[in-house]
Amino acid sequence: MSTLYVVATPIGNLEDITVRAVRILKEVDLILCEDTRHTKQLLTRYEIKTPTQSYHQHSSGGKVKTIVEMLESGKNLAMVSDAGTPGINDPGVLLVKELVTQMDGNINIVPIPGASAVITALCVSGFPSHEFSYLGFVPHKKGRQTIFQTIAQSETTTVFYESSHRIMKTLDALGSVLEPTRQLIVCRELTKLHETMYRGTCATVIESLKKTSTKGEFVIIIAPRSWG
């Protein structure tokens, strides 16, 4: 029975990959990548010469059919995303769904765990993590304010991603609904050269960001309403 390995890769620092992941990427017949050019940097670093092929959110049904045929012929494949764990806020979940449906159990789907921006940020937050809400990227418009109102009333930790283009607008919106003393942490460029963490209230974090750069990728974590 063929195997699809769902392989987590670094979210920034290329050293954040497991020994097992490197071995699997060397052993499989093909690596499915969100962006082959991006993944090539990682493969070159670890001298992995396995062929690659693109698979992303715009891939056609024909691409899925080709992947199914390769697995049915006995090939073992690995799937990676540009960063982090495939299937977590990532189009890889669609491929797993199709393979489970189309191959009717005649495939092993094996997770190779590793980096995830959500967990990376949570472990340094100092907020409760036994239960938390993960929202991915919040909507740009429709439902956005409703989500912020829900976060304001939440008794659990809330985590979501934000882009550099909207980080200040998002913090302003949160500041208008959160209690003035509500604590949060904003993690910028996790594991990368310019990794920075801003802790405090919305107001203090906004002031800190005004004094530095808002370029990069952000993870926002908001403490439960009753925390602290």
Residue 67: the pLDDT is 93
Per-residue pLDDT band at 134 (split at 50, 70, 90): very high
What is the model's pLDDT at position 56?
81
Look at residue 57 in the predicted model and tell me its pLDDT.
73
| Interval 28-71: pLDDT, tens | 999 999 999 999 999 999 999 999 999 887 777 788 889 999 99
So what's the pLDDT on residue 59? Answer: 74
Domain membership of residue 15 as a residue range: 3-112
For helices 167-175 and 144-153, the axis angle rounded to 10 degrees is: 50
Strands 184-188 and 217-222 come out as antiparallel
- Summarised one tens digit per residue, pLDDT across range 148-189 is 999 999 999 999 999 999 999 999 999 999 999 999 999 999
Which of 79, 112, 145 is where one domain is finished?
Answer: 112
Are residues 187 and 161 part of one domain? yes
Please indicate, yes or no, whether residues 97 and 131 belong to a single structural domain of this protein. Answer: no
Q: What average pLDDT score do residues 124-145 get? A: 93
The Cα–Cα gap between 153 and 66 comes to 47
Considering just the CA atoms, what is the radius of gyration of the chain in Å? Answer: 20
pLDDT of the residue at 42: 98
227 within domain boundaries: no
Residue 91 confidence class, pLDDT cut points 50, 70, 90: confident
- Per-residue pLDDT at 22 exceeds 90: yes
**Taking residues 186-198, what's their average pLDDT?**
96
Angle at which helix 92-102 crosses helix 61-72, to 10 degrees, equals 60
pLDDT at 62: 81
The CATH number linked to 201 is 3.30.950.10
Angle of CA points 58, 60, 62, to nearest 5°:
160
Same domain, residue pair 99 and 174: no
Residue 13 has pLDDT above 80, yes or no: yes
Q: Last residue of a domain, which of 112, 128, 148? A: 112
